[in-house]
Structure 1
Amino acid sequence: MGDDKHSRSPDNLKEFNERLRHAQEAIKEQDRKIAGKGTAYSLGFRIATDLVVAVLAGLGIGWGLDKVLGTSPWFLLVFMPLGIAAGIGNVIRVAKSDEARRHMEQMSSNPAPSVKDDED
């Protein structure tokens, strides 16, 4: 029972707690890097999907109206640019929202440094 390896002295507990804290910080940093990669991939796929779907929707609506109404290229020519514009608008909206979220996270984790006033 008096084994020196397994003694629970305050110094050993402090050393253990310090090693545990360093290990937890290393794991958190690895998790952040992995999550960042997954987030970037998912954001890229979301942007690509939003753009492609909006363009295809514009083309589909234009083609369908042309088929039904017999006005061959006209509705296609009208709805194709509308689909492209909607897709680009979606991409801008997604990029701005992600940029804003990332900026807010950065600001909360890295507060502005304090600056000495003239009065100090």
Structure 2
Amino acid sequence: MPIDPSDGPDPERLKQLEARLSEAKKALEPETRTDGAFAKANMGWRMVIELVSGLGIGFGIGYGLDALFGTLPLFMMLFTLLGLAAGVRVMLRTAKEMSVERQADNSAGEEGR
């Protein structure tokens, strides 16, 4: 039986074609990791960057104030220590967020059982 273009599209054949296309697209998609290894590494790097940026910003502010007032080591040391404290504080806040998220994920996983 030849296909007559004047009949219009066949809905059943279109559904079959869409199903085959979606299967082909799924086969071409890259596999994603579900174990969270990349998320954990990302959070680790985030914490390191927060600590180092706190140190860098504190050092920069202290050095700038020392250059402005002519008291070279005083403000640089003070603001570097303040930057370290701020970096540790932000890093601890990030660790707390990770802990809360992990507990929420664990409780959601237990409810699904």
TM bin, normalised by shorter chain, reads 0.5 to 0.7
Structure 1: 5+ residue stretches without partners = 1-29, 112-120
After superposition, the C-alpha distances for 1:54-110 in whole angstroms (9 at most, x for unaligned) are 001001100110011101111112101100000100110000001101111101211
Who is 2:65 aligned against?
A: 65
Percent of aligned positions with the same letter in both sequences? 32
Q: What TM-score, normalized by structure 2, do the two folds share? A: 0.67
Matches of 2:77 and 2:43, distance apart in 1: 30
Secondary structure of residue in 1 paired with 2:34? helix
Who is 1:32 aligned against?
A: 34
Q: Runs (4+) of structure 1 moved beyond 6 Å?
A: none
Q: What TM-score, normalized by structure 1, do the two folds share? A: 0.63
Structure 2: 5+ residue stretches without partners = 1-31
| Mapping 1:1-120, distance limit 5 Å | 31-33=33-35, 36-111=36-111
Matches of 1:84 and 1:106, distance apart in 2: 33
RMSD in angstroms over aligned alpha carbons? 1.6
